[in-house]
């Protein structure tokens, strides 16, 4: 049965629209997304909400689901994500290849880290299958796959030693920052854009915060003072972005990653600002429901079908880039691109819920 609209699905849907726009570089609407007013962006929100959703899979403290069932479901999810990543990667490569032929521009073969696919295909296809070669803007699903592979371990620690989960996660995070440890790419030399050793903390924080007891319970009980404490951090973060004032990495003490702003390592400054943003905006959903009720259900529908919508959105972003390249962009073109893209994302979510819609009347008839 279809889930009712809720804050998690709503914000996930919001993040999907934002990611779609942000993945068309140069588009005019890019300037209005949260990344222009916040040190963190929709990637943190997406991963945090994934952790939050894991709590729903694990079950309530008074009615926990069996561990084998949890492991099986998460393993299946990891496989689904892997398959989705492979599929959209291949479609992206086909789009770049087609565009380069149709538009007579071989430089398009080099967009988004795709050059190695065309120029060193033997090694790169192995790398793609191993997730060690990732296309630009198509690099968050590999992080998800990695998180889902380790999610049963997260759930098991939470079940057996709940107080240990967050300290272990923080210890891994700090080690990755202080050493620093990165996940290398191959065959192209580089590193994973989203370092899973660091981003796992965002995931675990979502999981821990979703728990009605423990830290999650503490935050719920004290959310008002926490919001007041968080507000200056959010404002300060916004001012840093707007006025382009960041800590200079070379003047920071070692280990530098503890003091600078970076997305790959989701550094502490960025993470703290994100948590503050969550605290402040946790009050917003109730108001949005009251003041913009017609938006809540459609955007939540996007969030309920996040994988399908994300995949389609990623492909649409790439098509949008090709369209902007060919037309030069501008307000008219960019508006049309965003309108068409968001409409297709809604259509995707609507189609994905088709089987549920068909089941609902059948269930009503059976009940009658």
- Which CB atom, from 187 or from 214, has the smaller least distance to other proteins? 187
- For residue 34, give every residue at least 6 positions away whose Cβ sits within 8 Å of its Cβ, in sequence order, or none: 18, 41, 42
Least Cα distance to 45 among 271, 300, 286 occurs for: 271
Q: Does 260 bind other proteins (CB under 8 A)?
A: yes
Q: Does 331 bind other proteins (CB under 8 A)?
A: no
Candidates 325, 340, 350, 353; binder of other proteins (CB under 8 A) is: 325
Q: Does 125 bind other proteins (CB under 8 A)?
A: no
Structure token pair of residue 282: 């946790």
| Contact flags string 71-100 toward other proteins, x per CB under 8 A | ------------------------------
- For residue 154, give every residue at least 6 positions away whose Cβ sits within 8 Å of its Cβ, in sequence order, or none: 54, 165, 203, 204, 207
CA atoms of 177 and 255, how far apart (whole Å) = 7
Q: Does 180 bind other proteins (CB under 8 A)?
A: yes
Q: Which residue has the tokens 């998690």?
A: 8
185: helix, coil or strand?
coil
- Which CB atom, from 106 or from 286, has the smaller least distance to other proteins? 106
Angle, to 10 degrees, between the axis of helix 331-352 and the axis of helix 293-304?
A: 70
- Which CB atom, from 4 or from 248, has the smaller least distance to other proteins? 248
For residue 33, the minimal CB distance to other proteins (Å) is: 14
| Contact flags string 99-118 toward other proteins, x per CB under 8 A | ----xxxxxxxxxxxxxx-x
| Contact flags string 35-54 toward other proteins, x per CB under 8 A | --------------------
Q: Does 252 bind other proteins (CB under 8 A)?
A: yes
Contact predicate 315/92, CB 8 Å? yes
Beta bridge partners of 60: 63
Q: Does 328 bind other proteins (CB under 8 A)?
A: yes
Contact predicate 333/327, CB 8 Å? yes
CA atoms of 120 and 123, how far apart (whole Å) = 6
Question: Which residues contact other proteins by CB under 8 A?
Answer: 25-26, 103-116, 118-120, 123, 136, 180, 187-191, 193, 246, 248-250, 252, 256-257, 260, 262-264, 321, 324-325, 328-329
């Amino acid at each position: 049965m279809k889930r009712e609209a809720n804050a998690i699905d709503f914000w996930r849907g919001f993040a999907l629209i934002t990611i779609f726009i942000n993945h068309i570089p140069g588009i005019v609407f890019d300037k209005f997304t949260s990344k222009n007013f916040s040190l963190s962006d929709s990637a943190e929100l997406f991963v945090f909400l994934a952790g939050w959703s894991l709590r729903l899979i694990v079950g309530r403290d008074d009615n926990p689901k069996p561990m084998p069932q949890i492991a099986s479901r998460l393993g299946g999810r990891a496989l689904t994500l892997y398959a989705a990543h492979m599929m959209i990667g291949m479609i992206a490569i086909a789009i770049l290849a087609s565009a380069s032929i149709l538009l007579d521009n071989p430089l398009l073969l080099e967009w988004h880290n795709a050059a190695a696919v065309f120029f060193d295909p033997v090694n790169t296809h192995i790398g793609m299958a191993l997730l060690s070669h990732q296309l630009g803007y198509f690099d968050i699903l590999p992080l998800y796959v990695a998180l889902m592979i380790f999610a049963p371990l997260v759930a098991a620690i939470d079940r057996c030693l709940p107080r240990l989960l967050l300290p272990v996660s923080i210890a891994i995070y700090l080690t990755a920052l202080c050493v620093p440890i990165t996940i290398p790419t191959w065959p192209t030399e580089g590193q994973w854009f989203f370092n899973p050793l660091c981003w796992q903390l965002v995931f675990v924080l979502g999981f821990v915060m979703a728990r009605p007891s423990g830290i999650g319970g503490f935050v719920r009980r004290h959310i008002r003072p926490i919001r007041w404490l968080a507000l200056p951090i959010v404002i300060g973060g916004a001012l840093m972005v707007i006025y382009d004032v960041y800590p200079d990495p070379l003047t920071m003490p070692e280990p530098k990653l503890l003091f600078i702003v970076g997305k790959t390592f989701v550094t502490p400054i960025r993470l703290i600002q994100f948590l503050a943003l969550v605290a402040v905006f946790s009050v917003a959903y109730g108001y949005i429901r009251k003041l913009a009720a017609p938006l809540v259900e459609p955007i939540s529908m996007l969030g309920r079908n996040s994988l399908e919508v994300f995949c389609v959105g990623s492909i649409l972003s790439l098509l949008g880039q090709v369209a902007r390249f060919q037309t030069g962009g501008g307000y008219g073109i960019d508006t049309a691109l965003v309108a068409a893209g968001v409409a297709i994302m809604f259509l995707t979510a609507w189609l994905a819920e088709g089987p549920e819609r068909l089941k609902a009347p059948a269930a009503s008839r059976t009940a009658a």
